[in-house]
């Protein structure tokens, strides 16, 4: 991380004469430490949110809550959590947020789809 920051700031600021070498290092250190503390606090908050999910909820309800948290944490419009059904070779929605019932209830074939490729390649 520090090397990437150094390269970026060197290329964009030091060459233009806006910062001395000392100022550049101070800027790099500040950005790095602030980013790390922000990143860690975000991770901690997300873990606390996950841990606060009521374990007495049904499996489907837990996945609905997880989909909602994914949408909020990633600033996404919608999310679906789909599980692979080996009998039908399709992906079935078990949790969603921000999608219509029609979209949520549709299943996705494993063959010839991006989601299916992910399942097949186990990525």
CA 91 – CA 114 distance, rounded (Å): 11
**In the chain, what are the domain boundaries?**
1-52, 77-122
CA 44 – CA 89 distance, rounded (Å): 37
Q: Looking at residue 54, what is its pLDDT?
A: 92
- Crossing angle between the packed helical segments 59-74 and 21-51, to the nearest 10 degrees: 160
Q: Are 70 and 82 in contact (CB under 8 A)?
A: no
Dihedral (CA of 12, 17, 18, 23) sign: positive
CA atoms within 13 Å, Cβ hemisphere of 97: 19
CA 9 – CA 28 distance, rounded (Å): 8
- Phi and psi based region of residue 81 (left: phi greater than 0; alpha: psi -120 to 50; beta: remaining): beta
Tens of pLDDT along 70-105?
898 889 999 999 998 989 989 988 888 998 877 777
Q: Looking at residue 22, what is its pLDDT?
A: 81
Q: Are 72 and 93 in contact (CB under 8 A)?
A: no
Q: Looking at residue 97, what is its pLDDT?
A: 92
Q: Looking at residue 108, what is its pLDDT?
A: 85
Q: Looking at residue 56, what is its pLDDT?
A: 95
For the chain, residues with pLDDT lower than 50 are: none
């Amino acid at each position: 991380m520090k090397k990437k920051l150094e390269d970026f700031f060197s290329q964009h600021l030091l060459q233009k004469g806006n910062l001395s070498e000392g100022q550049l290092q101070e800027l790099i250190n500040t950005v790095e430490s602030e980013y790390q503390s922000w990143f860690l606090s975000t991770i901690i908050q997300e873990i606390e949110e996950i841990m606060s999910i009521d374990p007495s909820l049904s499996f489907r309800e837990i996945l609905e809550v997880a989909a909602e948290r994914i949408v909020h944490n990633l600033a996404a419009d919608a999310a679906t959590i789909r599980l692979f059904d080996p009998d039908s070779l399709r992906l079935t929605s078990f949790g969603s947020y921000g999608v219509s019932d029609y979209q949520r209830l549709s299943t996705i074939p494993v063959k010839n789809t991006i989601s299916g490729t992910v399942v097949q390649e186990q990525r």
